[in-house]
Amino acid sequence: MTVPKFGLGTFRLKDQVVRDSVRDALELGYRAIDTAQGYNNEGEIGQTIADSGVKRDDLYITTKIKPDNYSADKLVPSLRESLDKLGVDAVDLTLIHWPAPRGPVSAAEYLGALADAQAQGLTREIGVSNFTVALLKQARELLGDRVIATNQVEIHPYLQNRKLAEFAQQEGIHLTSYMTLAVGKVMEDDVLKDIAKAHGSSPAQVALAWAMGQGYSVIPSSTSRDHLASNMKALDLKLTDEDMTRIAALDGQGERLANPPSVAPDWD
């Protein structure tokens, strides 16, 4: 199993909004869906998948364990609840959502419980999210031979996370970019608009193609069917070396968008 390079994100989407987004995405050909216990939408996603008629084997489903469920006595039971909501026997990938370095549960405990969930067949692959270089090193030591399928982190043209990206590349750790569109900021960027014009594409497609061009997976979300269809076209967009260099120069022009103090680490 490998993490698909393109999928649907569902952060902040709830109730009928998430049902419509997932339904439209599946109809358009999306086959990877990313959710989390903390999004409170697993049940709606599960029902929409069931109603879609898309075969389970054709889907790649990711969920994330929320910090409240990190302890050894809670993680596996909470994942079983997620599976029930999603209507599946197992998910393809389960992530630790935040490292919670100042929380009551140690990395050794929650990563051990995550490995146990994999051993029980509840998830085919395991990974982490929002882990720094130091935390990735610790996770690899704690997990031993178990593969970290991905580290899902905030990466967009204005926050390119180069230290982490270089380490991940050297160590063969896959990265998944979230908030790749910088909550819409890319749509107003003159550099991205200029590149998009040259390719007959959109700034959003350019940002997504830029991330995928570096080997990252992307999971953009949208409540618009047209935008969902447009985002998918990034799969066919090939940027030039000059395009990539121009986008690289945008690094450092935006603040970190996801940084909850109770669970965020000391970033690289």
Please give the C-alpha separations between residue 109 and each of 82, 112, 115, in angstroms, as whole numbers. Answer: 20, 5, 10
Taking CA atoms, 174 is separated from 57, 59, 156, in Å, by 22, 19, 16
Under 8 Å between Cβ of 93 and 59: no
Active site residue 39: yes
Query: Among positive and negative, which fits the CA dihedral 13, 168, 96, 7?
Result: positive
**Cβ atoms of 180 and 187 closer than 8 Å:** no
In DSSP terms, 33 is beta-bridged to 8, 61
* CB-CB neighbours of 1 under 10 Å: 10
Beta bridge partners of 64: 95
Where does residue 251 rank: exposed (0-12), middle (13-18), buried (19+ CB within 10 A)?
Answer: middle
In which residue are the tokens 């999971």 written?
Answer: 219
Enter the tokens of residue 204.
């959003």
Instruction: Give all strands (DSSP E) within the chain, no chain letters.
Output: 8-9, 32-34, 60-65, 91-96, 123-129, 148-154, 175-178, 217-218
Coil vs helix vs strand at 232: helix
Please tell me which residue in 30, 39, 60, 110 is annotated as part of the active site. 39
Biggest CA-to-CA distance, the chain: 55
- Using CB atoms within 10 Å of the CB of residue 101, give its burial: 0 to 12 exposed, 13 to 18 middle, 19+ buried: middle
Token pair for 178 = 């979230």
Catalytically annotated residues: 39
